[in-house]
Amino acid sequence: MSLDAFKLDGRVALITGGNRGLGFALAQALAEAGANVVVTGRQQERAVESAATLARATGQRTMGLMVDVTDAQQIESMVQAVVKEFGRIDILINNAGINIRKPVEELEWAAHSITVNALCPGPFATELNIPVMNNPQANQFFLNHIALGRWGRPEELGGVIVFLASDASSFMTGAALVVDGGWTAE
């Protein structure tokens, strides 16, 4: 398999919660690999700003949308807006969401050649973890339990998400990839 299998040229990626933190890092990696990206968040201005930042940095087509993923009508409107603008959705990353324990499509997508995998990030230096990192005792606890001895950088998820979104992972479904600096191995 050539490295072309990792290219995402012309694909459309939708990343919920993609306007900051790990979601933004995932969106940036996909755009850098050639995908057009749509990022969503609960704040319209922030989603639009994040999309514009991605467009400037990567030259890809982007869109920012305000969406509350707990509202089914907003989810339907989001999908319609993306399909209207880009024609389709090739890559979906549920970075923000809720947990409903039942099969999708009452779930299984493999019969449709759709792969579903989970990316399980561990302790990453994001806006949400600033209070922990600024607390000396809590920060030291984490550092003591991360085998690599440091917090992860959001951009370190880029290669994994490009792999999962690309044809390089075409025979992979139902898997969970843990990227946590050795947190679970401790």
Reported as a single tens digit per residue, the pLDDT across 171-180 is 999 899 999 9
Rounded distance between C-alpha atoms, residue 67 and residue 97, angstroms = 11
Q: Counting beta carbons within 10 angstroms of the beta carbon of residue 112, is it exposed (0 to 12), middle (13 to 18) or buried (19 or more)?
A: exposed
Report how far Cα 131 is from the mean position of its chain's Cα atoms: 23
pLDDT of residue 2: 79
pTM for the predicted model, two decimal places:
0.82
Per-residue model confidence (pLDDT) at position 96: 76
- Is the pLDDT at 146 greater than 70? The verdict is yes
**Per-residue pLDDT tens over the stretch 148-168:** 999 999 999 999 999 999 999
Q: For 65-76, what is the mean pLDDT?
A: 94
Give the CATH fold of the 3-123+154-179 domain: Rossmann fold (3.40.50)
Residue 34 has pLDDT above 80, yes or no: yes
Give the lowest-confidence range in 21-35, 61-75, 101-115, 121-135.
101-115
Q: Which residues contact 73 (CB under 8 A, 6 or more apart)?
A: none
Q: pLDDT band at 106, cuts 50/70/90?
A: very low
Contacting residues for 177 by C-beta, under 8 A, at least 6 apart: 117, 118, 119, 120, 160, 164
Does the pLDDT at position 131 exceed 60?
Answer: yes
What's the confidence (pLDDT) of residue 63?
Answer: 98
**Residue 109 pLDDT greater than 80, yes or no:** no
- Give the residue, 124 or 1, on which the prediction is more confident: 124
Q: List the beta bridge partners of residue 63.
A: 38
